[in-house]
Amino acid sequence: MRVADPRRLAEVLLAQDKGWSEQQVGSLLNGGTREVELTTRIPVHVTYFTAMVDGQGNLRTLGDLYGLDTRMGASLFGGKVQFVTPRYDDEIRAMRARQRPASSAAPTRSTLVDAISNIFSP
């Protein structure tokens, strides 16, 4: 699962659970990957959005990779509800078009690695 600021998450969790300072967490992270078992169980709430409002105030819908909108719609409305959202490949192309300067070359084809690495990116 992606986390926007993994270092800060580690600092908060390890300060709470083990009393570690930011410097101790930094030393851990600078030394490479290492497991640290927490003493206290931390409840995690995962959110999954298929609609958002962008910085200009426009509604954007996102592909429902897990098909949860249809299942949630069925639960809420008592029947099969079809939600139409963009295909993920279309989202990748649109995202790249927004990021690309107007004078750049033709778009490149997205790869599976691109899709996976950007699943939880805005």
Instruction: Map residue 96 onto helix, strand or coil.
Output: helix
* Residues linked to residue 111 through DSSP beta bridges, in sequence order: none
Banded model confidence at residue 53, pLDDT cuts 50, 70, 90: confident
84 and 50 in contact (C-beta within 8 Å)? Answer: no
Please tell me the pTM assigned to this model: 0.45
The pLDDT of residue 54 is 82
- State how far the Cα of 84 lies from the Cα of 64, in Å rounded to an integer: 9
Q: Is the pLDDT of residue 57 over 70?
A: yes
- Averaged pLDDT for residues 95-121: 58
User: In the numeric block, which tokens belong to residue 21?
Assistant: 């300072």
Q: ∠ at Cα 119 (113, 122), nearest 5°?
A: 125
CA 64, 66, 70, 73 dihedral sign is negative
Report how far residue 117's alpha carbon sits from residue 86's, in angstroms, rounded to the nearest whole number.
Answer: 18
**Region 94-114: what's the mean pLDDT?**
61
Comparing 4-8, 17-21, 76-80, the range with the smallest average pLDDT is 76-80
Q: Is the pLDDT of residue 98 over 70?
A: yes
pLDDT at residue 15 is higher than 80: yes
